[in-house]
Homo-oligomer: A and B are copies of this chain.
């Protein structure tokens, strides 16, 4: 086997392996949505995907690695929620508060993402340092993304964008947590508009402050 052929072969093997791993993680995630992560066993995942538990353990030598894989998956998913927001706002070098707020609180939240799995895994941060670091990385990333967005607007760029991002995200996260408890559609909408307004005001106050300074 030539070196090139070998590398290609290795690449193929890795690809197959990666795909299989992804299939297992996705199965794990789907079952977790349905039954709660704490009720999902390796045997159940196997049954769900039509493979023996031993095959799962071939790709994930122990359950913790499987859980870590799931967490990497959902944190990636979580970030994806914000992708369309970023793409839209990145083009214009201007942050329109109303648009930003609407996108930050968009309903894609609940559709693309299972809060139950997210919070179950979050609870693990208290007992697993690796998981804690993953969650922290996510939060830092999200805040940085927003900061970068704000930095592109000449108005906000004059203020403390990191601080503003911090203040905005704490409301988003509080809302994300609190709203997950509310099932009544009308009540949900009412509260949602309160929190949107709250973030909107943060943006308004900040931009007003900056403009006043430079008059």
Number of copies of chain A assembled together = 2
A69 sits at the interface (CB 8 A): no
- Contact between A198 and B170 (Cβ–Cβ < 8 Å)? yes
A182 proximal to B (CB < 8 A): yes
For A198, list chain B residues within 8 Å (CB): 167, 170
A126–B170 CA distance with the chains assembled, in angstroms:
22
Q: Which A106-124 residues have C-beta < 8 A from chain B?
A: 115-116, 119-120, 122-124
Shortest distance between the CB of A66 and any CB in chain B (Å): 15
Q: Are A177 and B177 in touch, CB under 8 angstroms?
A: yes
When distances are taken between beta carbons in the complex, the residues of chain B under 8 Å from A120 are: 120, 123, 126
Q: Which of A125, A135, A167, A174 has the most CB of B within 10 A?
A: A174
| In the assembled complex, A96 has its CB within 8 A of some CB on chain B | no
Residues of B within 8 A of A44 (CB): none
Chain A positions near chain B (C-beta within 8 angstroms): 35-36, 38, 115-116, 119-120, 122-127, 132, 135-136, 139, 163, 166-167, 169-175, 177-178, 180-182, 191, 194-195, 198, 201, 205
> Would you give 18 A-B contacts (Cβ < 8 Å), ordered by A?
A36-B124, A38-B38, A116-B123, A116-B127, A119-B119, A119-B126, A120-B120, A122-B177, A136-B182, A139-B178, A166-B194, A167-B194, A170-B178, A170-B194, A170-B195, A170-B198, A172-B174, A177-B177
